[in-house]
Amino acid sequence: MKKKFIVLGVLFATFGFTKMNAQINFGDKAIGAVQKGITGFTFSNADAAALSKAAVDKMDTEHEVASATDPYTLRLNRVFGKYTAGDGFTLNYKVYKLKEVNAFATADGSVRVYTGLMDIMDDNELLAVIGHEIGHVANHDSQDAIKAAYKKEALMDAAASQSTTIATVTDSQLGKIGSAIIDSKFSRKQEAQADLYSYNFLKKNGYDVNAEESAFRILAKMSEGTEASFIDQMMSSHPDSKQRAEDAKKRAEKDGLYKPYVQQKIVNTAPAAKTTTKKATTTKKTTTKKK
Ligand SMILES: [Zn+2]
């Protein structure tokens, strides 16, 4: 154990990851784990949230985040801003200015949406995708994912070696955990349940539930086209778009809500219309006002 710690130490020194170590207090549980072995370690939701937040904070510093006045941010404010109070958790959100088609949500309730996704999804479809991602948080899939990532990085070894009450997560480890969050592979069952969450989210808030099927059709189509490389990440963590589109359609049919979805205009360039607290079902005219 000690030897391993020294090797790790040398590795970190070599890469020079010294400036930003996140102090995450796993306290007594880390010590308990040493006594009981890693399998006895319980990773609470609070632990998952703390580690996720540290990983997301790091990603935020490494990606170009759209500013508060950026049209993409304004659009996300308008579309999603009113839904940050999740079921027993609070969500925060930001836009990453990246061409990739992707979005993810983490155990601490951080939602990150890529401009590449916002470029191809209308408001309802965007909510369908975000609804799916926050479904993973609500269903605790995200907590399980970060726990797995943590174990994989063998942080327990480091924590045990230090024999202190603080587990120090290095910058490089956080980076790997961040990548693991983005690439999280969930089971088919978890995906189906997150899809159902999204469907119910749309339905509950008065949106056209058929946007879910449409969002998956777009992803399925893209994966076959020339722009496939832009959706690699999303497809690797979310395969079977065609099947999921079919499932979404069946759900809507069963509810008597099915109607082929027509994509609405996607506007990421103009400032959003004034945000109001009106019901989600309110249709808003698109303004052509230039910034
Ligand atoms: Zn998913």
What was the pLDDT predicted at 183?
81
1-27 pLDDT, tens digit each? 444 443 333 333 333 333 344 445 554
Note if 224 is an active site residue: no
What was the pLDDT predicted at 277?
53
C-alpha 41 – ligand 1 centre gap (Å): 26
What was the pLDDT predicted at 110?
96
> Cα–Cα distance between 218 and 208 in angstroms, integer?
16
Pairing mode of beta strands 103-105, 110-114: antiparallel
Residues 6+ apart with CB under 8 A from 253: none
Both tokens of residue 100? 């990739």
C-alpha 142 – ligand 1 centre gap (Å): 10
What was the pLDDT predicted at 237?
60
Helix (H) or strand (E) holding 103: strand 103-105
> Cα–Cα distance between 25 and 194 in angstroms, integer?
30
Helix (H) or strand (E) holding 111: strand 110-114
Residues lying with their CB under 5 A of ligand 1, a single-atom ion: 191, 194
C-alpha 105 – ligand 1 centre gap (Å): 10
C-alpha 93 – ligand 1 centre gap (Å): 17
What residue has token string 């839904």?
Answer: 83
> Cα–Cα distance between 57 and 11 in angstroms, integer?
23
C-alpha 82 – ligand 1 centre gap (Å): 22
Short-list 258, 29, 2, 47, CA closest to 148: 47
Regions in the chain scoring below 50 on pLDDT? 1-23, 27-40, 160, 162-166, 272, 280, 282-291
What residue has token string 């200015």?
Answer: 97
Q: How far is CA 64 from CA 19, 60, 96, 97, 111, in A?
A: 21, 7, 6, 5, 15
Residues 6+ apart with CB under 8 A from 159: 26, 30, 33, 34, 167, 168
C-alpha 32 – ligand 1 centre gap (Å): 33
Q: How many CA atoms lie within 13 A of 123 on its CB side?
A: 22
Both tokens of residue 283? 């249709």
User: Which of 62, 64, 125, 133 is labelled catalytic?
Assistant: 133
C-alpha 140 – ligand 1 centre gap (Å): 12
CB 178 within 8 A of CB 56: yes
What was the pLDDT predicted at 153?
72
Q: Which amino acid, residue 33?
A: A
The pTM (predicted TM-score) of the whole model is 0.76
Short-list 195, 197, 169, 189, CA closest to 48: 169
149-165 pLDDT, tens digit each? 887 775 555 554 544 33
